[in-house]
Structure 1
Amino acid sequence: MFKHIKADLPASLVVFFVALPLCLGIALASGAPLFSGIIAGIIGGIVVGAISGSSIGVSGPAAGLAVVVLTAISDLGSYELFLVAVVIAGVLQVIMGFLKAGVIGYFFPSSVIKGMLSAIGIIIFLKQIPLALGYEEGETPFAFFETTGFDLYRSLSNMVTSIDPGVVLITAISLVILLVWDKVLVKKSKFFKLVPGPLVAVLVGIIYQLILSGSDSPFEITGNNLVSVPVPDNFGDFLSQFTFPDFTQMGNTQVYIVAITIAIVASLETLLSVEATDKLDPHKRVTPTNRELVAQGVGNTMSGLVGGLPITQVIVRSTANVMNGGRTKLSAIIHGFFLLFSVLLIAEYLNLIPLGVLAAVLLIIGWKLANPGQFVTMKKLGKSQFIPFVVTVVAIVATDLLVGILLGLAVGIITILINSYKNSHFLNIEDKSNGVHRIKMELAEEVTFLNKAAIQRELYALPENTYLILDVTKTKALDLDVLEILDDFSVTAEERNINVKLISQRGEVENPHSYREFFGVNVFEGA
């Protein structure tokens, strides 16, 4: 387990610094206690990380569930009752894992998953802009995390007049450190490979804040532009931040509706993240999805029992893990311990970290995910790959993750249907002499009801006095719907002086009157 700790430990530090503000921001956006996000991050790292079969996936509270959580807490009337729903949702996920529901993730095409990654990269990049500029919308810049679509672009345009020079400066310094560290210094010495650039950027940010704090300088960073972690006075104060579920209202049907909703949405987001993370893995390991659902279920049950938010595997933290050299699940586990120790021991020092530093880390991650070269690569693969990819990207950026994924999937299915329609058969005009059209039609290996319209159109477009050679020797599956079309055509063919020669692995026959009788069954296996 500790074989790759030299790679996992630095990666876990970066994931920790990325996860900390996200845990707080998602809790805030969910209308839940701030500490609930930290709890979910700790359990997602330690518990889910230990049970999961994913080598590089990182779990914690997910932004995609924030709206669901916010609505559920309001509908149920108390956070304690909402926690009951989280516990039940976890149990449902464990059951789904044992029922092998994890296979659902494999039904999403590669073009849609790649589109999801690029879209998430774009969103990550855009949503760091307020943190990088020091823009505060409402009470906190975290409110911007849940902004999507038209509101996202409108908020971006409003930021031009609300720039904090101190935040811009530390963001620029952090970007320079990260880029120079990654592009230049790591190639110069092993020391720079062992020490992660983001950790150096964070330390520089803390030093910057210590120097300028209370100086009344225009470059001083204050208020909501700093990390804000609850600081307990003692261990008892720390324990008082935990909230426990109210099981006295287990009979409330609304609790079960919320639980089912959380279980479905969290499971789908996890499976999509697993699919995407596996594609990012340089070692191309495959995560066992059923085991992942069980791990997430156990994590959600425990999180609900001690006052945490719902948990999913999350692409932002997983991507940070991969791109900073994480090799095994130890990285995710250690990041969970870092979250635990940070709120226990060094919370006051974490509150010195400017959010601009963390924005710089995520700006680079977002750029790498949304690499423009990916669009060029997908375009070269053809329309069947490029169109679902682009639709997924645009839909996710304009709406949200689940809507975008479903739209991309729908376009992918339509593309498959169109290709299936086109590829049902092959026509070859062999001879037109003596007023007789000699035409060969070769059916594809698998012909289903999806192909019947194309085959019917082709058959009934044949001119009179045609000699048709119908070759089904390569066909392995032939649907009843197509056989019925052929039987109907045999009547029309006789009236229009069209002679048909059927060639199959069963032999050859001239002008068959019943294709169903010839093949014997509605779906035959070309013997």
Structure 2
Amino acid sequence: MTSKAFPSALLRDLAAGAVVFLVALPLCLGIAKASGAEPLAGLVSGIVGGIVVALLSGSSLSVSGPAAGLVVIVVDGIARLGSFSAFLIALLLSGAIQFGFGTLRAGQLASYVPTPVIKGMLAAIGLLLIIKQVPLAVGLTSGGNTESLAGALASISPIVCTVAAISLAILAAWDTHTLRRFALVRFVPAPLVVVVAGVSATLVCGALGATLALPPELRVALPAIKSLAALHDALHFAEFGLSFARLVDPEIWIVALTLAVVASLETLLSLEAVEQIDPQRRAAPPNRELKAQGVGNMVAGAIGGLPITSVIVRSSANVHAGARSRLSAIVHGVLLLVSVFALTDAINLIPLASLAAILIHTGIKLARPSLFIMLAKQGAAAFTPFIVTIAGVLATDLLTGIVLGVLCSAALALWANLHRPIALARHDDHFLLSFRKDVSFLGKVALKEMLAHIPDRATLIVDTTRADFIDHDVRELLDRFIDEAPLRSISVEVLHAATVLPRATRSGA
């Protein structure tokens, strides 16, 4: 970079960092609330992702922080382990596992996960986000009387519903071509507009009287922090005093492994997406990124944060804001840290309904109907693993759903390879026997049936040029037919592929 270009690039990174901060702030708060954690936990992860991970990462434009895709795991993990502090141990262990993935150079393994499975995982996450955020969007709280339909309907707040509806309308409108023509719309992130609208609604409702004011339980509740000592007191720390028996508890390791696998998948997918939208097409080393994410999750687990991944929403905002280097991600992390001390009063005016609307909109984009239609048009080979993954995630958990989807894809691939690998075509007394793919021993039965249909004095062409492998039993059956063909006045011509093994050697031949 030339000396003349350096000031311009620096200003671009500073401006981009500010834009990403404005996108990340409501997302950190909303993901924390959806995860059942305190708002500070989301901000801690944003800070760690913006500073620690960015310093260690090899990606120039990727931005890390708490991800909506991990909300489901966090909620399930806290329920399984009994406390947030115990969950932090699992998070710390997941970071160590991720670092191990990077050390073992496992960054390329995500390429082997079938695309329908990944899309199914993301769609299932989107559906779960929508399901879990709708109650907050209508004003229902855990303490409300929601055991009966009448009690639930009575607890719905018209004001909260209005705030959520306006927020969703803003988010939907911000993505339309009509508004995207305006430079201001392209520059100002939609989540920021939603937050400003929500804060304005809180102030207006409060000014109209106590009966219309949003109660504290329907707004963000970030503790006032005036010093580093106060920040230390507000943080949750992992229970390092857990007994050895708890550390060998399989539940701890199940949560840790699930976090490590899903967080790694999301990070690697995000890296690929960022590479595609990077004007310079700079590729990030996947193994280095896994190590950086692992360190970030270990730090987050140690000081009370949420799981961290590379997040495409923030990363794309970073790219579109004109970022040139990792400095923009670091700036966004520093601004999040400053907000913990300086913006507490403003943050506590944000309605939870506004944050819920942001996550619902994220869920809608992840599970958009057009995705289901697109996969259905691709046929059963793509649509079946997609649906199996979604059903598995909804019925069990993310890791189990992914495993079921991969197994389904493998089974379909195996069936495709075993199903009708040999075809027989006829024209008068001429027959074409085509080996359309690799043929295992299971193709012996089909071949035997086809050869039985070849009449005397026929002409048979055997085309094996498209098969890289033909099982020994299959070749032996074919060789025997060729040897006996002159006895039936059958003319046989064999088209060999260079990679197909030669004729089988039979005992006594």
Candidates 427, 433, 441, aligned match of 2:433: 441
Q: State the alpha-carbon separation in 2 of the partners of residues 393 and 156 from structure 1.
A: 28
- Which residue of 2 is the match for residue 66 of structure 1? 74
| Match of residue 222, structure 2, among 217, 221, 229 | 229
| Residue correspondence of structure 1 range 3-152 to structure 2 within 5 A | 3=12, 6-7=15-16, 9-28=18-37, 35-54=40-59, 55-56=61-62, 58-60=64-66, 62-67=70-75, 69-70=77-78, 73-74=81-82, 79=85, 83=88, 86-138=91-143
Deviation of the 1:287 alpha carbon: 5.1
Aligned pair in 2 of structure 1 residues 88, 126: CA closer, same or farther (>3 Å)?
closer
- 1:402 and 1:157 mapped to 2: Cα distance? 37
Q: Distance in 2 between matches of 1:158 and 1:468?
A: 78
CA pair 391-248 structure 1, distance change in 2 beyond 3 A: closer
1:285-300 alignment, distance < 5 Å: 288-300=285-297
Tell me by how many angstroms 1:17 deviates.
0.7
Q: CA deviation at 1:339?
A: 3.3
Give the drift of 1:352: 0.8
**Would you say 1:370 and 2:367 are equivalent positions?**
yes
Q: Specify whether residues 208 and 367 from structure 1 end up closer, same or farther in structure 2 by C-alpha distance, changes over 3 A only.
A: same
Cα separation, 2, equivalents of 1:454 and 1:335: 64
- Measured in 1, the distance between the counterparts of 2:177 and 2:496 equals 66
Match for 1:70: what amino acid?
A: I
Q: Which residue of 2 aligns with 1:502?
A: 494
Correspondence for 2:4: none
* TM-score, normalization by structure 1: 0.76
Deviates more, 1:210-219 or 1:297-306: 210-219
- Structural RMSD (CA): 4.1
Residue 316 of structure 2 is aligned with which of 310, 314, 322?
A: 322
- Check conservation: 1:24, 1:38, Cα contact below 8 A: no
Q: Is the 8 A contact 1:206 1:353 kept in 2?
A: yes
Could you tell me which of 295, 309, 313 is aligned with 1:313?
309
| Match of residue 267 from structure 1 | 260
* 1:415 matched residue in structure 2: 412
2:361 is aligned with what amino acid? I
Is contact 1:447-1:478 (8 Å) kept? yes
CA contact (8 A) 1:269 1:312 kept: no
- Mean Cα displacement is larger for which, 452-461 or 95-104? 452-461
Report the CA distance shift for 1:493/1:287 in structure 2 as closer, same or farther (over 3 A): farther
* Letter paired with 2:74: A
Change (3 A) 1:16 1:50: farther
Secondary structure of the structure 1 residue equivalent to 2:505:
helix
Match of 2:277 among 257, 276, 283: 283
Change (3 A) 1:429 1:271: farther
Structure 2: distance between partners of 1:197 and 1:253 = 44
* Matched position secondary structure for 1:213: helix
Aligned partner letter, 2:198? G
SS at 1:166's partner residue? helix
DSSP-derived class of the 1:240 partner: helix
| Count of aligned pairs | 485
Q: Measure how far apart 1:413 and its partner are.
A: 2.2
AA matched with 1:199: L
In structure 2, what is the equivalent of residue 511 of structure 1? none
CA offset at residue 6 of structure 1? 4.5
Quote how far apart the aligned CAs of 1:5 are.
5.3
Q: CA deviation at 1:347?
A: 1.8
State the distance in 2 between where 1:250 and 1:89 align: 19
Gaps of 5+ in 2: 1-8
Q: Alpha-carbon deviations, 1:454-504, whole Å to 9, x = none? A: 744644653553654322244333344543554676799899997754342
Cα separation, partners in 2 of 1:397 and 1:7, compared to 1, 3 Å: farther
Q: Secondary structure at the match of 1:515?
A: coil
Q: Deviations over 1:362-408 (max 9, x none)?
A: 33333333332333333333332233334434444454433333333
Aligned twin of 1:516: 504
Task: Find the counterpart in structure 1 of residue 462 from structure 2.
Answer: 470
Contact persistence 2:42–2:305 (CA under 8 A):
yes
Residue pair 2:441, 2:471 contacting (<8 A) in 1 also: no
> By how many angstroms is 1:99 displaced?
0.7
SS of the residue 2:504 aligns to: helix
Q: Is the 8 A contact 1:113 1:275 kept in 2?
A: no
1:236 CA displacement: 2.3
Q: CA deviation at 1:19?
A: 1.5
Do the aligned residues in 2 keep the contact of 1:124 with 1:366 (CA within 8 Å)?
yes
The answer to whether 1:452 aligns with 2:443 is yes
The answer to whether structure 1 residue 213 and structure 2 residue 206 are counterparts is yes
CA–CA separation in structure 1 for the residues paired with 2:349 and 2:16: 27
In the alignment, the residues of structure 2 paired with residue 398 and residue 232 of structure 1 have an alpha-carbon distance, to the nearest angstrom, of 41
Aligned residue for 1:402?
399
Given that 1:269 and 1:313 are in contact with CA atoms closer than 8 Å, whether structure 2 keeps it comes out as: no
Find out whether 1:162 has 2:155 as its counterpart.
yes
TM superposition shift of 1:357? 1.8
Q: 1:34 offset after TM fit, Å?
A: 6.3
Which of 172, 192, 197 lines up with 1:204 in the alignment? 197
Stretches of structure 1 that go unaligned for 5 or more consecutive residues are 142-153, 433-437, 508-513, 519-527
In 1, Cα distance between equivalents of 2:22 and 2:406: 36
Structure 2 length as normaliser, TM-score? 0.79
Q: Kindly state the Cα deviation for residue 221 of structure 1 after the two structures are TM-superposed.
A: 1.3
Change (3 A) 1:415 1:159: farther
Alpha-carbon distance in 2 for matches of 1:165, 1:98: 53
Aligned to 1:347, which of 344, 347, 365?
344
Identity %: 31
